[in-house]
Each structure stands twice: as structure tokens, then as C-alpha cells.
Amino acid sequence: MSRPHLAPAGPEAAPVLAELHSQAFDKAWSAQDISALIGGAGAYAVLAQDTAPLGMIMARVLFEEAEILTLAVAPSARRRGIGAALVVAAAGLARQGGAQALVLEVGEDNPAAIALYGACGFVRVGRRRNYYDRGGRQIDALLMRLDLNSERP
Ligand SMILES: CC(C)(COP(=O)(O)OP(=O)(O)OC[C@H]1O[C@@H](n2cnc3c(N)ncnc32)[C@H](O)[C@@H]1OP(=O)(O)O)[C@@H](O)C(=O)NCCC(=O)NCCS
């Protein structure tokens, strides 16, 4: 298994990012949605690949705070550290963009992602009640935050 290569991805990578997103989420984002998001102010994406696309993260810097918009690792590539490497890359770019903190929302029913963010140094700072609709079932979102000044994941 070769070492994954991580690099920032522009709107031209939107179809690849959309394919990775669709493998990870029930409600897939279209390539057009992704292209428009990446083209927005402060937004960026990082793609992990070896001979094939393995994972992606999208985030956005808004003044002092950056937000992870989505994170997806291909099912066959999980538990190889790719998700954590993508979070580290996104945190580095957020710092470069002037952000002091990186925040995100994660479903309370997503133990894998909650564990990943915890392992990367994020702490829980809040809860949004009934934030996600999983086919009629309402799920709370946990708000998590990484202080980019004190943590270096
Ligand atoms: C969550 C997700 C991105 C994790 O990606 P990954 O590449 O498998 O994660 P990593 O290999 O970097 O894991 C790093 C650490 O996170 C934790 N972790 C990751 N997946 C886990 C799981 N299924 N169960 C428990 N802990 C997990 C572990 O502490 C892991 O370290 P370890 O493997 O040494 O024990 C991936 O499972 C995914 O794409 N899920 C679907 C989409 C999703 O939920 N995205 C996040 C939405 S907010």
C-alpha cells in the first residue's frame, strides 16, 4: 500500500470530491454544489490519493474562525490515518488563513467521526438539538472546536 499524497484541490477536482462524498454520506453533494462551495470566499479542499482518490476534506475560513464543511474517507481506505491527516492539513491551512480556531458540527450518532476529532484535539463546546434529519429521525449535532493557537494536531 503506497503512502497517500495530500494536496489542496480546486473546483476542477469537484467530480472526484463528489464521488468520495457520495461514498461516505447518504445525502450526496453534487459536483456543482462542491465546485460552488470551493469557489466561495475563504473555502478550500484537500484531496488524499495514491493511485486512486482516498479521501477529502472541505473547510472555510471566516475571519478568526474556520469551519470544517465535510470530511470523507473512502470505505476501503479507513483506519489508515487518512482522516486524521486530512484534519491536520485543514488545520494548517486554516492557521495560514488567519483563523484562531477550527470548528465543526458532527452527528451524535457518528462515533467514528467523534473519536477522530477527539484524537485530533477537538473538544465539545455545544450541542444543536435536532440538527440532522436521518430519514425522519432527528439527531443532535455536537459542536466541536480546536484551538489553533494551543493545539497542533
Ligand atoms: C470519520 C472518517 C472520516 C474517519 O476516517 P479514517 O481515515 O478512517 O480515520 P483515521 O484512520 O484517521 O482515524 C484516526 C483515529 O480516529 C478514531 N477513529 C476513526 N474511525 C473510528 C471508528 N470507526 N471507530 C472508533 N474510532 C475511530 C481512532 O482513534 C483512530 O485512530 P486509530 O485508528 O489509531 O485507533 C470516516 O470513517 C468516514 O469517512 N466516515 C463517513 C463520513 C463521516 O462521518 N464524516 C465526518 C462527518 S462530520
Facing residues of 98 across strands? none
Name the residue range of residue 108's domain.
Answer: 5-147
Q: Tell me the CATH number at 46.
A: 3.40.630.30
| Pick from 62, 102, 97, 101: nearest CA to 86 | 102
Ligand 1 pocket test: pick from 1, 25, 73, 142 the residue with the most ligand atoms within 8 Å of its Cβ: 73
Say if strands 65-73 and 101-107 run parallel, antiparallel, or are unpaired: parallel
Cα Rg of the chain, angstroms: 15
**Would you give the DSSP letter of residue 148?**
T
Kindly state whether residue 60 falls inside one of the protein's structural domains.
Answer: yes
Phi, psi values for residue 70, rounded to 5°: -165, 155
- Predicted local confidence at residue 3, as pLDDT: 82
Asked whether residue 47 carries a pLDDT value surpassing 60, the answer given is yes
Is residue 14 a contact partner of residue 31, using CB atoms and an 8 Å limit?
Answer: yes
Provide the number of structural domains found in the chain.
Answer: 1
Taking the CA of residue 74 as reference, the ligand 1 atom at the shortest distance is: 39
The DSSP code for 41 is: T
The whole-model pTM stands at 0.97
Confidence bin at 2 (pLDDT 50/70/90): confident
Report the alpha-carbon distance of residue 38 to residue 46 in Å, rounded.
Answer: 10
Residue 153 lies in a domain: no
CB-facing half-sphere around the CA of 145: CA atoms within 13 A: 13
Q: Taking CB atoms and a 6 Å cutoff, what residues make up the pocket around ligand 1?
A: 24, 71-73, 78-84, 106, 110-113, 115-116, 119
Does residue 54 lie within any of the structural domains?
yes
In a domain, 152, yes or no: no
Please check whether residue 29 lies inside any domain of the structure: yes
Query: Among residues 5, 30, 3, which one has the least CA distance to residue 17?
Result: 30
pLDDT digits (tens, 9 = 90+) for 71-96: 999 999 999 999 999 999 999 999 99
Alpha carbon distance 90, 66 (integer Å)? 9
Residue 16 maps to a domain: yes
